[in-house]
Chain A
Amino acid sequence: MDIFLQQLINGLTAGSVYAVVALGYTMVYGIIQLINFAHGEVVMIGAMVAFSVIMALAGAQPGLPPVVIVLAGVAAAVPVCMAVGYLLERLAYRPLRHAPRLAPLITAIGMSIVLQHLALLIWSRDPIAFPQIIPLQVFEIGGAAITGVQIAIMLVSVVMMAGLSAMIYRTRLGAAMRATAENPHVASLMGVDIDRVIAVTFLIGAALAAVAGVMVGTYYGIAHYTMGATLGLKAFSAAVLGGIGNMAGAMLGGLLLGVVEALGAGYVGELTDLCHASFLSDALVERCARDGHLILFGSNYQDVFAFLVLILVLVFRPSGLLGERVADRA
């Protein structure tokens, strides 16, 4: 039981990060039906900028409390990422808003390559180790270990999601965003400045990405100029799983994906041990006696479990868990 709980905690922490990144994908998609494939790189830039600031502060002012240093990192990362997000929209997406649907996909790939290699130039090829400034605090819950950083990540994610929901459903800007998502043409007739709304959407997504970048950096203690691709792919899957374009779906999808990965890696291996069925043949009995196990799908298939769940969900609910509208602009 304590192992199950531990896996749940593992999954929820990773899932919180996925969810925050997935929000960036889903917001942009909701408004202009575009997959911002370069979003993962924005997360990477966030982690890198925060690293530089944290490194400098931890070196210059060793007396500062770690929380202050990390917050300073966030404070630096957010505006930089917002600038990157804005530039992305301005240079790569806005000129192509009426182009065939796949054209922005290529510009996004181009921008990913550019951002990655700019980061390589600035922060080197090495994997960067975040300074270990946060003392390790481990709390016990029902036999499972949870660290202070994990608690902070989950809390921050929940706060950011709540804040975002409030913004979208309670403010004029939020109303304008929803109107644009519903029908940009009509929204513009009602006096909504479409360009501005879209730019703001990118800015908010980039700010979320910046925070996610800092989370990843401090939790795993490492950053690398190629880290955005993997994370972006996971978060994008999460957004689709929940129903792309749907905010609550992105959160649900992120958390679910994190938990599925953790439980998949934790349990499927033992469930697919052929030795449970070794009565099938003598050869199996012999190998089981020699090796003790004959696992078909171990933790090496962790990503397969995640994709399988995604595919199964989509086969039965073709627009994701919470998605309603079907994107039909092929």
Chain B
Amino acid sequence: MTLKQGLSLSLAATVIALVSACGKQEPPPLPKAEAPKPAEQIVTVKIGHVAPLTGGIAHLGKDNENGARLAIEEANARGVTLGGTKVKFDIVPEDDQADPKVGTTVAQKLVDAKVAGVVGHLNSGTSIPASSIYSQAGIPMISGSATNPKFTEQGFKGVFRVVGRDDQQGPAVANYLASQSKPKVVAVLDDATAYGEGLANEVEKTLKAAGIKVLPREKGTDKTIDWKAVLTKIKGKKPDAIFYGGMDATGGPLLKQGRELGIKAVFSFGDGACTDKMSELAGQAADGLICSQAGIPVQAASKRFLDGYKAKFNIDPILYAPFTYDAANLLIAAMVKANSAEPAKYLPELTKIGFEGASGRIEFDEKGDRKDAEMTIFTMKGGKITPIAIIKSGKTMSVEDYMKMAGAAPAPAAPVAATEAPKAPEKK
């Protein structure tokens, strides 16, 4: 068959497909032109993913996208049938450049593309304005990383997150710090972003409530790598512990310079700086830091997820990939339960779902926040972050105790099991 013939043939196929699609008023199983056998109709269901893929935190954006992509490709490999037809999921990745203005444009683009659901956005700053567009279009969105409490408190339907809120994570790490290190004076710093400041505010609130003196807030920016001036000022006030709300790219230099100045205080961080990168950036100085992650963290995420990610992308997940992986899986699981990819039909299932994800068990409360999200406390040991405690329902327990409890729980039915979780980090 020559190229020309092939072209005209496929053209004809397209025309026929279009005509037949127009003829029937009920279009659901729209046959694709490439699939001539009507017996094996495959419907494509689009799932949007939005994160910054250019700019300062592009690496985290790609990590998020990889998580969602993995979930979608696993589902396709598994084969999912909705309403009697085979379904193929397609990820529609978009770059919002961490810019709220671009965030709304991209959201509208996904609505136009008739995606069935959205995983994202990464930043709270883009998730909040985009949420009103998705909710008007009735499309559910699940963010794997927007931690600002405001995100789910606008009263929009179909807005979810699988990551813990700042006001869940902040108290967790602050309480751990207060009970374990027993500091008298704590310095709290942040990077003046919505994420960093929000988290630092919650930490400060909790510390003060515990009767600990908190020094006046010091701030850098999300690009600050020279912290010497601020640290020198703090050093003069002799704090016992330091908390920084910000990402690893700024937190690493902070830690390194703190040790260079001879500050002996315990350094603690939120999930943005709870990565192995910290020891790469700060070297020996990173050992002994305390940090928290919402949910069951990357290293403690289910082994199946970790292995799958590594095999597919040939790198380790960085931060929120388990959450976006879960978010995509949640959308798919809800569609399976409702036996439909139509947002109006599967949204009710999503709100009452119970799901064992790579980051632990997921249920949503009435706002769309994750119910009783676990928090994990880590420390840095020999260049790897290692979990030392898990906080659930306000109770702090050691990792071993949590393992026993999780092991006793009934085996999960969902594709991903959380029980193997804590083995991963020890394996290195």
A contact residues vs B (CB 8 Å cutoff): 3, 6-7, 10-11, 13-14, 117, 120, 124-127, 129, 132, 136, 138, 145, 147, 216, 220-222, 224, 226-227, 230, 261-267, 269, 273, 292-293, 295, 298-300, 302-303
Partner of A6, one of B217, B261, B318: B261
A223 to B277, CA, bound (A): 13
* Interface-lining segment among B70-78, B252-260, B331-339, B418-426: B252-260
**Interface pick from B55-63, B304-312, B395-403:** B55-63
Of the candidates B230, B252, B261, B318, the one whose C-beta lies within 8 Å of that of A145 is B261
The listed residue (A14, A125, A127, A302) touching B62 by CB distance below 8 A is A125
B59 to A266, Cβ gap below 8 A?
Answer: no
Q: In whole Å, how far is A192's beta carbon from the nearest beta carbon of chain B?
A: 41
Q: Are A11 and B59 in contact (CB under 8 A)?
A: no
Nearest chain B CB to A117 CB, angstrom units? 7
Q: A205 vs B201: C-alpha distance in the bound complex, in angstroms?
A: 44
B62 to chain A, nearest CB (A): 6
Determine whether B236 belongs to the interface, using a CB cutoff of 8 Å to chain A.
yes
Q: Shortest CB–CB separation between residue B284 and chain A, in angstroms?
A: 8
Q: Judge whether A222 and B230 touch: CB under 8 Å.
A: no
Cα–Cα distance between A154 and B74 once the two chains are bound (Å): 55
A129-B232 in contact given A269-B216, A298-B216 (Cβ < 8 Å): no
Extra contacts, 13 of them, besides A145-B260, A227-B223 (Cβ < 8 A), are A7-B229, A10-B232, A11-B229, A120-B58, A125-B53, A125-B61, A126-B277, A220-B226, A224-B249, A261-B229, A266-B229, A266-B230, A292-B213
Tell me the smallest distance from the CB of B238 to a CB of chain A, in Å: 12
The interface residues of chain B lying within 8 Å CB-to-CB of A136 are 259-260, 283-284
In contact, B59 and A127 (Cβ under 8 angstroms): yes
From B54, B218, B260, B283, contact of A117 by CB (8 A):
B54
Interface flag for B354 (CB, 8 Å):
no
> Complex: how many Å from CA A127 to CA B277?
9
A265 to B229, CA, bound (A): 6
- Are B228 and A262 in contact, CB atoms less than 8 angstroms apart? yes
Are B228 and A299 in contact, with the CB atoms below 8 A? no
Contacts of B248 in A (CB 8 A): 127
Contact of A221 among B54, B217, B236, B256 (CB under 8 A): B256
Contact bitstring B189-205, A, C-beta under 8 A = 1, else 0: 00010000000000000
Contact of B233 among A3, A120, A224 (CB under 8 A): A3
Q: Which 6 A-B pairs have the closest CB atoms?
A: A300-B219, A129-B280, A132-B283, A10-B228, A125-B58, A125-B59
Contacts of B256 in A (CB 8 A): 220-221
How far, in angstroms, from A145 to B236 measured CA to CA in the complex? 13
Main secondary structure of the interface of B (DSSP, over half): helix
A138 touches B55 (CB 8 A): no
Q: How far is the CA of A220 from the CA of B256 in the complex (A)?
A: 8
A299 touches B260 (CB 8 A): no
* Interface pairs (16), CB distance under 8 Å: A3-B233, A3-B236, A14-B228, A126-B59, A126-B318, A129-B252, A129-B277, A221-B253, A221-B281, A226-B56, A226-B223, A265-B229, A266-B229, A266-B233, A293-B216, A300-B219
Contact B282 A265 (CB under 8 A): no
A-B contact count (CB 8 A): 118
Known contacts A221-B256, A261-B229, A299-B220; decide if A127 and B54 are in contact (CB<8 Å).
no
* Interface pair A138/B262, CB less than 8 Å apart: yes
Give per-residue flags for B13-57: 1 if the beta carbon is below 8 A from chain A beta carbons, else 0.
Answer: 000000000000000000000000000000000000000011110
Task: Indicate the member of B217, B225, B229 with the most A CB atoms within 10 Å.
Answer: B229
* Min distance, Cβ B53 to any Cβ of chain A, angstroms: 8
Contact of B192 among A127, A132, A267, A300 (CB under 8 A): A300
Q: Which residues of A contact B217 (CB under 8 A)?
A: 298, 300
Q: List chain A residues, Cβ under 8 A from B262.
A: 138, 145
In the complex, what's the smallest C-beta–C-beta distance from A9 to chain B, in angstroms?
8
- Cα–Cα distance between A269 and B213 once the two chains are bound (Å): 18
Q: Which residues of B contact A120 (CB under 8 A)?
A: 54, 58
Which chain A residues border B218 with CB–CB below 8 Å?
A: 265, 269, 298-300
Q: How far is the CB of A201 from chain B (nearest CB, A)?
A: 29
A301 nearest in chain B by CB position: B219
Given A145-B260, A147-B260, A222-B281, A299 and B229 contact (CB-CB distance below 8 Å)? yes
Least CB distance, B181 to chain A, in whole angstroms: 21
**Closest A residue, CB atoms, query B281:** A129
Q: Which residue of A lies closest to B60 (CB)?
A: A125
CA distance A147 to B259 in the complex (A): 11
Indicate if the CB atoms of B232 and A124 lie closer than 8 Å.
no
Chain B nearest CB from A257 CB (Å) reads 12
CA distance A221 to B284 in the complex (A): 13
Kindly state the separation between the CA atoms of A145 and B280 in the bound complex, as whole angstroms.
23
Q: Which of A10, A117, A261 has the most CB of B within 10 A?
A: A10
The CA of A6 and the CA of B217, in the complex, are separated in Å by 20
User: Are B249 and A127 in touch, CB under 8 angstroms?
Assistant: yes
In the bound complex, residues from chain B placing their C-beta under 8 Å from that of A264 are 229
A265 CB to nearest chain B CB (Å): 4
**Alpha-carbon distance A204/B399, docked complex (angstroms):** 57
CA distance A220 to B252 in the complex (A): 9
Give A295 to B215 CA distance when docked, in angstroms.
Answer: 11
Chain A residues whose C-beta falls within 8 Å of the C-beta of B282 in the assembled complex = 221
